[in-house]
Chain A
């Protein structure tokens, strides 16, 4: 394998991992507040179809991403109202959201299958992209990839350093205690769910606008689900989520390369690789139960309401 191919594999790894990174970071924030939203796949698909249609009509890529974020957030608000204010079961509601999102997106997008749009261009960052090897891999990407870098750093610091992060963590651990010291549990959870929805919308739009600039039904092909697994196996830590996301990206690319090189393995079998590899490696990482307990939002998935 020559060196250029290797660099290109890593370049593509980042691109492939980006949507997973975005949606997983969003879901992590949501879960840290104690809400499990299984609707990631549905919100991603709605983001993907919205972004594609908007770019197809108006030819403005930025507008596509913004509207995808808004639609993702609207889906999340629907979820939030049901689970936070009507105290419905989070698992059932999330599943329903996914089914709803994939059905609705297929319906809306039926006329757009096979159409073409202007995709998101890459944007070489001055100076940084001149760094040999790394410059090309990391800083010759498109804007959304840079946005995902920024989100990663921002969320990492948010949980490590900020008071807001402290509040979010405390609500995910013990909402009753948080309520007693005067934090508004439902408001924080609502905001966290909305953030998760926006991130899922953007992640979906990245697939339909930048990664493969076209719309097909169910094009997220389980990334929303893998993101959910990723958050758990990354034990709710941003630094492990980014690792897992790129691991997934790498394995996806390897399977394409392997197919191209003509290995005599069934392509269906190879297609499992990214999913299997990501989960196996993260399970190995999360084997330390004590550490896990420190990061796990204890009240994850439990409805909370004011009792008086």
Chain B
């Protein structure tokens, strides 16, 4: 029997000024199919989704929904047709309750708040994502917020659900729960378009995959018949080495020592650090896993000197044996600290300044200033060196930081810090939103610094990354630090439990480590 196709795209092209985001793309999704859309950053995934969800319109090509040609003008129309979308950056309103958020999106068909609350309760428990409709979104965890987004789609009759990198903010256990929800949905005939760049998730979940590269379809496959490696090759082409295994090392003497560091939360949106103690040795990488908002930012601010501790008899932070509690970031940098903060535009670089000016910001101690005057030539030379050495795609040292793509700016910032040969490097989400090619380059640079004897602390939400590069691993949850173990002695399940706040789990009792870095 002929099966009706749920969604079919024929020859979709979208031209933005200066860039062809989608070039003649074909895509077909059957009812109940879980279809993966894969690609590096800038491959055109987001644009394609926006076209399907009506946020933007294609310049060329046709869209068929249930085999009817459609012209989706806006998201409201898409929702009426039965298309729902869960965004990577949630489109929720923090000061409203769950039910108010959902009522807003549903419009008039939402009905009154009371009956809608009931519907939310029923739908959310049916798919295993319990929610209390009258809670404020501001009080929810990231995982819970994602549930709200999904439930918001499910309270309507839905035929196609689009998820944009849904797992990037979840713990492994939450990912498993999400997958079972998605499988449940697909068994009821709902089609799912799953955008990701985590290949092992795609192989575990999806029936079909379409791979985009430079705005074009570079391949289609059945993920279960492929390996992560073969799919990755389709994503990045053959030029870039995809996955490298780095050797694990022991490290030398301790450089950074944190001894019983506690802080107070100044308001509800901050996390208090609770008696954190750790050491980072020269020549090792310590990784801290955790779901965002569990104290990572507060810890890094305390280490970088953005927030200083009060002077006390028992200092809590030492660099190379010297207490630094009351030193400001500038003085800490003079002791050999480098810092790659989480937000590139704002804390990592000044958006409206040129790359060479941004170089000056943290490197002025390195011969760039003489008698209070900037050595312009040297500054530009250093900026150009960083651009060349770390393969930053920019017009030149005179480009404004804001004109670079996220990944390129990140390479630049890491290069800038690296060029100072720091004795201690603090890196927050070093490859967040960076494509695979740049990821490998950044990882290699970190390993190189490690092998030269640098002490490195990496905070990341990406477990694959932490398993790949860190020598020892721990997790942070609600301001508390888990035990620290050598990376190859701790299983993914254990880290998952740590991330959820259960520090009692001991990986020695568990079966063999199953995690494979993709």
Contact = CB atoms under 8 A, between A and B. Distances in A.
Contact of A170 (B75, B104, B107, B269): B104
30 contacts: A163-B104, A167-B104, A169-B93, A169-B95, A170-B93, A170-B104, A173-B93, A173-B96, A174-B91, A174-B93, A177-B90, A177-B93, A180-B55, A180-B87, A181-B75, A181-B104, A181-B105, A182-B76, A182-B105, A182-B107, A290-B267, A290-B268, A293-B95, A293-B267, A294-B138, A295-B95, A298-B94, A298-B95, A308-B50, A308-B56
Task: Name the residue in B56, B90, B96 with the highest tally of chain A Cβ atoms < 10 Å from its Cβ.
Answer: B96
Interface in A165-180: 166-167, 169-170, 173-174, 176-178, 180
Interface in A270-308: 289-290, 293-295, 298, 308
B216 interface: no
Interface residues of B, number: 26
Interface of A: 163, 166-167, 169-170, 173-174, 176-178, 180-183, 289-290, 293-295, 298, 308
- Residue among A177, A178, A298 with max Cβ neighbours from chain B (10 Å): A177
Interface string B102-145: 01110100000000000000000000000000001010000000
A180 B93 CA distance: 12
Given A181-B104, A308-B56, 4 more contacts: A163-B104, A167-B104, A180-B55, A290-B268
B363 interface: no
Given A177-B91, A308-B56, A170 B267 contact: no
Contacts of A298: 94-95
Looking at A163, A169, A181, A183, the one whose CB has the most chain B CB atoms below 10 A away is: A181
A290 B92 CA distance: 19
A295 B75 CA distance: 28
Given A166-B100, A290-B268, A180 B75 contact: yes
Contact of A183 (B50, B90, B104): B104
B74 interface: yes
B91 A176 contact: yes
A26 B192 CA distance: 45
Main secondary structure of the interface of A (DSSP, over half): helix
B472 interface: no
B267 A289 contact: yes
Given A177-B93, A293-B269, A308 B104 contact: no
Nearest to A177: B91
Contacts of A289: 267
B282 interface: no
Interface string B266-279: 01110000000000
B79 interface: yes
Contacts of A181: 75-76, 91, 104-105
